[in-house]
Amino acid sequence: MSKPTRRKIAFIGGGGVRTPLVVFGINEAAERLGAEELVLYDPDQERVGIMAELGRAVVAQEGGSLRVRQASSIEDAVEGASFVLNSIRVGGTQARSHDERASIELGYPGQETTGPGGVAMALRTVATAVEQAKVVERLSPQAWLINFTNPAGLITQAIRHNSGAKVVGICDTPTEMLHRINTALGARPEEVQCDYVGLNHLGWIRRIRLRGEDVTDRLLADDAFLSQLYSVPLFEHDLIRTLRLIPTEYLFFYYSRRRALENQRRQGSTRGTEVEQLSRKLIGSLAQLLKEGDSAAAISTYVDYLNTRSGSYMKLEGKGTRSSTPPTPVEWTRSAPRADTIASPSM
């Protein structure tokens, strides 16, 4: 990385609502990555066109030389790439809504990455993800395939077992929990060390050290601290203390299955349905604003969407409400919102 490079990065699934955040992050790190070009591919040409145009507006606003373009095919996107990001949703948000409603009808919480919804999503996605990985293997065998697609563990394992692509699966649920712990402690990241066990959406923090001191017992006894770890109250503090483990938010669908199910039934909706409605409205607004040449308003509309979506996260399942009141507004620059609240299939 000490020598200048001219790396191409491909993004499969570039028509999704996570794309502007990906553009933001890569543009910010472009010099360190040696990234010259980000190429977006999606079978929905209209949506990926919108996201490519919005991505270019992000680069123009933030400053930078990253080129963002729309690929004519997956081969066009992948060939010659150093990294290939993969974030696809086979069947779209309509399929997510269907899976979640079907789960509720069968007596399970409607959630697309755990439980019956997660199995359905995996079965619908595996073949496509493997096929795309084989394209990466054939055209860019040295590229790293970074799998964002959920259920991340299942999809990454399927790609590893059925293709020769160099793949790693990533999930920001663990790092989000670490961020919340740092914030609750009022400490810098380098001052806090946590032991994490589990994988992706299903994991636990079992030990916390603050400036080298093991503070686990003290923090487990601190209700004020535990209350800051989740966007809405999900776990009884006595449960956390009994487990002696701090669970990530997705364990709510296991530890509190009946509560999640009852809240969803009472509201007559699921997170997937909420997201589908929000995203449909967003795409329509972006298309109109970009057509009018008002890229600043398009970016502002996108940030408003992030705030609304983040503000309603887990409220339906955890509290039985569908409030979309946003949290403290996010700053677009230098503090992009958590990726999984707006981008990963889990949200």
Q: What is the mean pLDDT of residues 229-246?
A: 94
**Considering the chain, what is the average pLDDT of its residues?**
88
Give 65-100 pLDDT, tens digit per residue: 999 999 999 999 999 999 999 999 999 989 999 999
So what's the pLDDT on residue 302?
94
So what's the pLDDT on residue 316?
65
- Determine contact, residues 339/18, Cβ cutoff 8 Å: yes
Q: Is 2's pLDDT higher than 60?
A: no
Name the nearest CA neighbour of 38 among 53, 16, 58, 23: 23
**3 state DSSP class of 41:** strand
What's the predicted TM-score (pTM) here?
A: 0.85
Higher pLDDT, 187 or 3: 187
So what's the pLDDT on residue 333?
39
So what's the pLDDT on residue 6?
85
Q: What is the mean pLDDT of residues 233-253?
A: 94
Per-residue burial over 299-327, b if 16 or more Cβ lie within 10 Å, else e, is: bebbbebbbbbbbbbbbbbbbbeeeeebe
Give 281-306 pLDDT, tens digit per residue: 999 999 999 999 999 999 999 999 98
So what's the pLDDT on residue 31?
92
Q: What is the mean pLDDT of residues 266-270?
A: 82
Q: How far apart are CA 43 and CA 115, in angstroms?
A: 28
